[in-house]
Amino acid sequence: NSVLLPIYGFKGSMYNQVVEEDIFYESELVSTGSLGFKQRFGGTETRIAFDADYAFTSQSANEKLGDGLYDYRDFGGRLGLAWKDAGLTTTVRMYRRSYLHYFSLAASNLALLEQQNPAAAAEAANREQRPKDFDGTEASFGWSGQAGSSVGLRATYAAGLRAYRDRYLRTETGAFSDTKRLDHVHQFTTRCDWTVGHVVYGAGLDGLFNVSNLSEYDSQQAVHAFIPHYFQYWSAQVTPSATWRLPWGGDRRPLVSLTTGFLYRAFPFRYATDAAGAYTDELQSDQEYSVTVGGAYPLAKWLAATLSSESRFVRSNAKSERYVQTNYELYTVYAGLHATY
């Protein structure tokens, strides 16, 4: 009934776009360590864990591993409860994120700013030294169950809060406000799987609403120089799938799967840009299409080799790609081993 859970995880990815921050990583390596304790009381399971994450990122080949502008580390803990008989779970996580090498341009060039604009330098000296650091809180509630013997259902609601420790809003004239940035996100995930013979048909429906009070002021823009709620957006995604268990191999039958996805994302306050980077009068919206073909071949009762290929197509009415790619195709192959114990 009592289990100590030391866990180490490592994940590497290429061409990863973080929509909430308008960051496009050429590569990202995340190292995760966790020490947890699990205790069962009848049909209730409790988990307590302390986590530490360290991420190495690069936006170009010029950034060396361990010296990326967006390298960060997290320290925090989580509490989870699960009621097995009812299929219910809930988790609360609190953590602090710090970006190790990210400083504001004003803070990095304070001496030059003092020569050009002493008033702005005095204001920048006390604000936004580390504008990306934040304290985060996350909570999730999930349910899973059956509708008969062949239909599986899952639903999850997750909410998150990011309180930025040194990032301030801008006024319509570009001056610092006394209000700090505060973001919160709401995500709904539903999934239905229906087994018919050797085939499992599935469909997922996800919705996300990212709320941010951060305003942006860009004096280089001829129109819409001031944009409130710059990072606020909502998205909806549909992911139908089918998985075949091939009719050979006995208890260890190979699997083949096909998954397609469509995602629509809309920014209610941000305007799309033209190729030169100037704002138009049209609000920004993005579409993503994906097709994934994969398979698993059992090597033993507890071990399987996996292989999959994904094609992703991203389109946006934002045409400027000076800082972030907005229209691209991405083809990815994944290969690995899946162990169950």
- Termini Cα distance of the chain: 17
pLDDT in tens, the chain (341 residues): 788 888 888 887 776 667 666 676 777 888 999 999 999 888 899 999 999 999 988 877 777 878 888 899 999 999 999 998 899 999 999 999 999 988 876 666 666 666 667 766 666 667 788 889 999 999 999 999 999 889 999 999 999 999 999 998 888 887 788 899 999 999 999 999 999 989 999 999 999 999 999 998 888 888 999 999 999 999 999 999 999 998 877 778 899 999 999 999 999 999 999 999 999 999 999 999 999 999 999 998 889 999 999 999 999 999 988 777 889 998 989 899 988 76
Adjacent-strand bridge partners of 136: 95, 162
283-314 burial code (b ≥16 CB/10 A, e <16): ebbbebebebebbbebeeeeebeeebebebeb
Helices (H), 147-298: none
Closest to 238 in 3D by CA, of 202, 270, 274, 280: 202
Closest to 153 in 3D by CA, of 112, 206, 194: 194
Dist. CA 325–CA 318, nearest whole Å: 9
